[in-house]
Structure 1
Amino acid sequence: MMRRATIRTTHADPATVAAATEPDNTDEMTTAVDADEDAVVTRIERETTGGLHSTVDDYVVNLEVAAEVVQQTTNTPDADARDGADTCASTSQERESAGVEASTTDQPNNE
């Protein structure tokens, strides 16, 4: 069974944030820009829950750094860069207040 997570974050400059995070993406990750919502959308798929957790955790750290660098170098306010601790929020209420939308699914592995 494959485990999947989708992480959607909004940014003033989503294309630059997405470009900054992509070099660290693994083969199990895709990152795209949703221009209609000024959002970066990253999908992660792993075979184990632990692997998914580790990959999501690594990605969120990379995302925090990318958002902060973009915000500081462009002087553009960025909702996700305002407080890095909020982005790592563990409850849905904390994620929502930090502007992070995440979802996970378990799907049978049809390979």
Structure 2
Amino acid sequence: MKRARLRTDSANGAIVAAALEPDNTPEMETTVEGDTIETTLERERTGGLRSTVDDYVVNLSVAERIVRIANDHDTQHNDTA
């Protein structure tokens, strides 16, 4: 079994991890501690692991971007209220 562990400091770990959870497979395990997300991925072959890591990183990037935009919008909204 091939394994990769990804550790990411996040804009909001719990929200980002929850956004990624529907795409997780049984071979993926994610934990959140504060705003740090740690995901372990396992696959039988290196090529499959690489594909899964690539997909995960793209999804993570999108989720992080959305959380940052929402946080910026909330901050701007509260500044004008």
Q: Same fold, TM exceeding 0.5?
A: yes
Give the TM-score, by structure 2 length: 0.84
TM-score normalised by structure 1 residue count? 0.62
Equivalent residues in 2 for 1:71-110 (5 A)? Answer: 71-75=68-72
Greater C-alpha radius of gyration? 2
Structure 2: state its 5+ residue gaps: 74-81
Distance in 2 (CA, whole Å) between partners of 1:12 and 1:59 is 17
CA contact (8 A) 2:8 2:38 kept: yes
- The one-letter code of the counterpart of 2:28 is M
State how many pairs are aligned: 73
Residue 41 in 1 paired to residue 33 in 2?
Answer: no
Aligned-residue sequence identity (percent) comes to 58
**For residues 75 and 27 of structure 1, what CA distance do their matches in structure 2 show?**
34
Structure 2 CA distance for aligned equivalents of residues 12 and 3 of structure 1: 29
Residue identity in the other structure for 1:41: E
AA matched with 2:33: D
Question: What are the Cα deviations for residues 78-103 of structure 1, in whole angstroms up to 9, with x where unaligned?
Answer: xxxxxxxxxxxxxxxxxxxxxxxxxx
